[in-house]
Structure 1
């Protein structure tokens, strides 16, 4: 439900006479949807007795008289009420003689889901991601700005695409991505990339080992999904190319470890955010529970991230693949084509100006030192900014255990700024190494850095458009509509399943996992606490399992939707870091994501809603994924995969 607070400003003249008053909307929406309840609050001067009825007029015709909840406090009084809009027009709210007028734009609720769906379908059909995203944004702007194609086109450029990078976090991600691309450009030109490939080849000498090393590196960089994606993808791409591992497979392994491991790691940039959402909702319920301990208890119920990590591991170990991923791996193994003919990699770092300079020494540490610098700077920066935030804000945090203390620090860090710092410091270290060893002169090093940045421009554009369509979804209240049409499906035992599906749909449509969590946590946590208590059939143990499972299902569903959405920033960054065609990455990963989601629903959330222990669901899911891969997965020959 979308909450809109209507604040009435009354000029106090010493008398409480009826008069027209000015209406202000706190966080107003450009459009309102049919079929959704909107909550309003009208505030009056305290000398007025708050009425118990609000009259609503549309175009000067009385359309409804709504019972209101009056409340008087101090020198002010207020009434709150709920209303569903049916059509656009000039609305007038009348209470106790006060008239509040405003023009509101109302559209059918189902229109709110069309822009993201249109963008996703167009991207999959046409393979033109930029055009598909722009079309989705334009369609949303068409609904918002009165169905005028010309003005909506202009507002698409100015109000959405133009403002998407203006968000400080978005700008930090763009700078981090572009700068890290520049660092990779210097490393490649100085011969460090080939040096690290030569060094890693001593162990990762086969496709199987190369995939395993990629998976392990994704697990080790657990502290942030963005850092994980760009570091693992850019580091492993030259090696996996040499081992004839398809770019589709590399991007899958990168994407399948980045967000999932950050989601369930007890210390990461995700955890602080997740804990804050859990804590806020539990405080509103009056629950005196430690939010961090509650989060730890939800990890066994966070089925999708756990199953995604496990599925990636057994795929790497077994050499078996299914559907279009098998075709991609077969193509790469037999012909050496790591990219499908005709595909367009999201970031192309294979150009002549990024190849190793002629006669450049292939020194592995010229790649390792800059990458290690990025990792260490990120860890140090997270700690430094987290401590500073806690000290400056005076926040209290749990110091009873090392893990809780570290989690509080990391959770309050400025992750986006830190990543930006790390990319620049890593770039400086790469340039210093190349110039000090006289492999490149300063001009050559700077030009290599610029070439690396240029290789990331396409991905940066797609990220910008993805954020823009996310803002369209916010203005159209897409998430609110999905929640509203799902309300009748909620029941205590099915709550974890429904929560997972709703979270997945919202994250898939909007491309944001964190936004999905923020929307659903305040709704699902109270339901997960109250619904089982009101059902006499549900035991206390099952009620506790449903509570933890429902919280985990929101986290897992958000990760699932984000994992397979072509407009998700982490999916885009995985394609970018792996140098894969974005649509090829989405098409090959989607079946695996759906299989993992099905296991999470059928063997996870459906069972825990009926009191089945989480450990039994995990074991059942592991065996199901193993058996499915064994029966339906196709293995490459021993000659191409060992």
Structure 2
């Protein structure tokens, strides 16, 4: 079973059960058990090997991984900060400000989209920050939790994958090195990342055309009909001002970015020159170099803890919340993040099962075997395979690590297909990550919007698949037009992509209006 299609079965079963039963915890655990059974059968380990692989190699190993522990700590600290901001009245004050400046449902959605675009440093940070800041505003103007979760998810990974200064750019540059500058190759691939850019375009078009389709339409209609009131004043102490929300969020953003570049060596002198040189030059890394070598998980922990301490001191100085209430926010914030932490733990364990079964090697073999005979179709093929791999494993970065080195090996530097295929890999990985119920980004988008996870997956799936289909066709166009050069190919491809997206949405709106009549 190792290194064959069976390696993908545990993830496929978990995803299918989650979508069918609407219950994610048991679905993930069943997938994990299937993976452990397959591994025990293939290695003839028996019952002792099954339990050892399930718990020791799986769950315990994932929970003791330093990267994963860092993400969990960051989640807890952010939950504590959100609880403190609510108790201090910062959310209520921001709601009063929003009443004067945001006048409509469309305005609330556009503000959420822009905030999501502005926080391009890291997808985890994006998901939870945007949700905590914008949920009161979107609730007031009749935006459902499901729509908020979609906006958060659609401005997290898609924004990070086209931002040269982000944790995603740093990850990709590690897999895609052209000479010594992987960031350069990443930047060249940005214009051909059709899925990410079309997803952002779709967000704005849906807002201004004022319609939804698929499962999202049902949730939006039901939410508006229920006339849910604003939760701006929940748990408010009454003394809060906008600064009580803005300053903690601003401190979180600045300090998390600082923490990330700190882990990359931005503030540490690096010795340049030959090993053993007596007069070696010492200098500081620039911002991009530090980002490329950073440990985003550790950086987020440092930054979030620093922001938490500053927020506590600020609130005590302002006397908007008692010290006792601040301490009570710690368990409250932790409890709010328990569902997300549990799902993340199970998703990481399921990924460990598929990795141990050789899912990556199986997919890599498929790509290498199909590359030689379909050169012009390769970007589209890479896109589809990346979607499938990221969907089944719930990870974009793992997909990058498998497919990008293959793309670099197939095409020599200077070949336009090299850039387009790497873009297709990144776009497909983001798309699969976007669709997958076991993706950590999808889980955090649900947590940020305080939305039922399965509802979030089922409502955003039609939107993500629509853009994926258009992106697939656009990669076919770019594969055949690359002979004209990257600029000409880009112009032709984008003309087709935007035209197809706009035409599709016009068709869906007319269909929706006919349905309403």
TM superposition score normalised by structure 2: 0.89
CA contact (8 A) 2:2 2:39 kept: no
1:631 paired to 2:507: yes
Deviates more, 1:495-504 or 1:144-153: 144-153
Aligned CA distance change for structure 1 residues 224 and 394 (closer, same or farther; 3 Å): farther
Superposed displacement of residue 444, structure 1: 1.5
CA contact (8 A) 1:604 1:618 kept: no
Aligned CA distance change for structure 1 residues 458 and 393 (closer, same or farther; 3 Å): farther
Give the total of aligned pairs: 493
Alignment correspondent of 1:56: none
In structure 2, how many angstroms separate the alpha carbons of the residues matched to 1:417 and 1:355? 33
Q: Which runs of 5+ in 1 are unaligned?
A: 1-30, 34-108, 283-287, 340-349, 397-403, 531-542, 638-642
Alignment correspondent of 1:5: none
Superposed displacement of residue 318, structure 1: 2.1
Between Structure 1 and Structure 2, the one with more strand by share is 1
In structure 2, how many angstroms separate the alpha carbons of the residues matched to 1:423 and 1:389? 18
Superposed displacement of residue 112, structure 1: 0.9
Superposed displacement of residue 290, structure 1: 4.6
CA contact (8 A) 1:246 1:338 kept: no
After superposition, give the CA deviation of every residue in 1:582-618 in whole Å (9 maximum; x if it has no partner). 0010011111111111111102344334436112212
Superposed displacement of residue 294, structure 1: 2.6
Alignment correspondent of 2:188: 297
After superposition, give the CA deviation of every residue in 1:211-236 in whole Å (9 maximum; x if it has no partner). 00000001111111111111111110
CA contact (8 A) 2:260 2:298 kept: no
Superposed displacement of residue 635, structure 1: 10
Alignment correspondent of 1:197: 95
Alignment correspondent of 1:156: 54
In structure 1, how many angstroms separate the alpha carbons of the residues matched to 2:446 and 2:273? 39
Matches within 5 A, 1:331-480: 331-336=222-227, 355-357=234-236, 359-388=237-266, 391-392=269-270, 405-480=286-361
CA contact (8 A) 1:496 1:609 kept: no
CA contact (8 A) 2:140 2:228 kept: no
Aligned CA distance change for structure 1 residues 583 and 395 (closer, same or farther; 3 Å): farther
Alignment correspondent of 1:325: 216
In structure 2, how many angstroms separate the alpha carbons of the residues matched to 1:393 and 1:566? 45
Q: Which secondary structure does the structure 2 equivalent of 1:244 belong to?
A: coil
1:601 paired to 2:472: yes
In structure 2, how many angstroms separate the alpha carbons of the residues matched to 1:372 and 1:185? 17
Q: Which secondary structure does the structure 1 equivalent of 2:200 belong to?
A: helix
Alignment correspondent of 2:457: 586
Alignment correspondent of 2:392: 509
Aligned CA distance change for structure 1 residues 487 and 383 (closer, same or farther; 3 Å): closer
CA contact (8 A) 1:325 1:588 kept: yes
Superposed displacement of residue 440, structure 1: 2.4
Aligned CA distance change for structure 1 residues 304 and 366 (closer, same or farther; 3 Å): same
In structure 1, how many angstroms separate the alpha carbons of the residues matched to 2:474 and 2:384? 14
CA contact (8 A) 1:326 1:634 kept: no
CA contact (8 A) 2:173 2:181 kept: no
Alignment correspondent of 2:30: 135
Matches within 5 A, 1:192-341: 192-279=90-177, 282=178, 288=179, 290-336=181-227
Aligned CA distance change for structure 1 residues 154 and 415 (closer, same or farther; 3 Å): closer
1:493 paired to 2:376: yes
TM superposition score normalised by structure 1: 0.72
Q: Which runs of 5+ in 2 are unaligned?
A: 275-284, 483-487
Q: Provide the aligned C-alpha RMSD in A.
A: 2.6
Q: Mark the structure with the bigger radius of gyration.
A: 1
Structure with the larger RCO, 1 or 2 (CA within 8 Å, 6+ apart): 2
In structure 1, how many angstroms separate the alpha carbons of the residues matched to 2:48 and 2:393? 25
1:122 paired to 2:20: no
